[in-house]
Amino acid sequence: MKREKPLWYKELGAFAKANKKIAIWQIVNTFIPYLILWAFAIYTIKKGYSYWLTLPIIILAAGLLIRIFIFFHDCCHGSFFKSQQANRVLGYVSGILTFTPYDSWRQSHATHHATSGNLDKRGVGDVWTMTLREYKEASSWKRFVYRVFRHPFVLFLIGPVAIFLISERFSHKSASKAERRSIVITNIAILLIIIVFSYFFGFMTYLKIQLPVIILAGAMGIWLFYVQHQYENVYWARNGEWDPLKSAIEGSSFYKLPAILNWFTGNIGYHHIHHLRANIPNYNLPKCYASIQALQKVKPLTFASSLKSINLRLYDEDLGKMVSIKAIH
What single DSSP character describes residue 93?
A: H
Mean pLDDT of 59-87: 98
Residue 272 contacts residue 248 (beta carbons within 8 Å): yes
- pLDDT tens, residue by residue, 76-128: 999 999 999 999 999 999 999 999 999 999 999 999 999 999 999 998 889 99
Share of residues in the chain with pLDDT > 70 (%): 99
pTM over 0.85: yes
Helices marked H in 77-176: 84-97, 102-115, 132-137, 140-149, 152-153, 159-160
Averaged pLDDT score across all residues of the chain: 95
Residue 164 contacts residue 98 (beta carbons within 8 Å): yes
Share of residues in the chain with pLDDT > 90 (%): 92
The DSSP secondary structure of 178-205, one letter per residue, reads HHHHHHHHHHHHHHHHHHHHHHHH-HHH
- Long-range contact pairs involving 26-32 (C-beta distance under 8 Å, separation at least 24): 26/71, 26/282, 26/283, 27/71, 27/90, 30/64, 30/67, 30/68, 30/71, 31/68
pLDDT at residue 328, rounded to an integer: 77
- Long-range contact pairs involving 3-12 (C-beta distance under 8 Å, separation at least 24): 3/243, 3/245, 3/246, 5/245, 6/294, 8/292, 8/293, 8/294, 9/245, 9/276, 11/291, 11/292, 12/273, 12/276, 12/277, 12/280, 12/288, 12/292
Give how far Cα 29 sits from Cα of 97, 148, 162, Å. 16, 39, 30
Residue 212 contacts residue 60 (beta carbons within 8 Å): no
Q: Per-domain residue ranges for the chain? A: 7-328
Q: How far apart are CA 121 and CA 78, in angstroms?
A: 24
Mean pLDDT of 291-301: 94
- pLDDT tens, residue by residue, 170-201: 998 888 999 999 999 999 999 999 999 999 99
Q: Widest CA span of the chain, in angstroms?
A: 64
Q: How far apart are CA 275 and CA 270, in angstroms?
A: 9
Report the 10 Å Cβ neighbour count for 154: 13
Residues near 126 by beta carbon (within 8 Å), at least 6 away in sequence: 112, 115, 116, 229
CA 257 to chain centre: 16
Closest CA to 96 of 31, 172, 50: 31
Residue 87 contacts residue 26 (beta carbons within 8 Å): no
Mean pLDDT of 160-173: 92
pLDDT at residue 2, rounded to an integer: 58
